[in-house]
Amino acid sequence: MNEENQKKVKEESDKENKKKVVKEKKEGTNYFLGILISLLTGLFVGFIAGILFAPKPGKEIRKDIKDKSKEFVKKSKESVTDTIDKTKEFVEKGKSRFEEVKGKGKEIIEKGKEKIEGLKEVITPKKEDTKA
């Protein structure tokens, strides 16, 4: 029976920890994806607005489009790289947090075992007295 209780406590602890990790992971992914989409959208809208309102001849506009396109690609790559780095950092924090929670769960299980052993020591003599 004690082993069953220990298993239940461990399973509940594991379930709670997994839920927390999944929730943190989802929140982080959505956050970074939102930042990336917002950044790229802003760059694109600014690029188009700049072209449309520029009072320049066709040759200059084509050159500007080419230059701005290169700049847009460069900034997009930088943004993606930055987002990947932040995502990796977030994943590492998640792993660290999971290990921390896992360690605390093990501590709780060990304390539970100690309490059960203490109860056994108290109950066993009383059990023997009732048999006699």
Would you list the domain boundaries of the chain? 2-131
* CA 72 – CA 45 distance, rounded (Å): 11
Alpha helices, H only, the chain:
2-52, 58-131
The string of pLDDT tens digits covering residues 44-78 is 888 777 777 767 677 887 788 888 889 888 888 88
With beta carbons less than 8 A apart as the criterion, state whether 98 and 21 touch.
yes
pTM, 2 dp: 0.41
The residue with greater pLDDT, 49 or 98, is 98
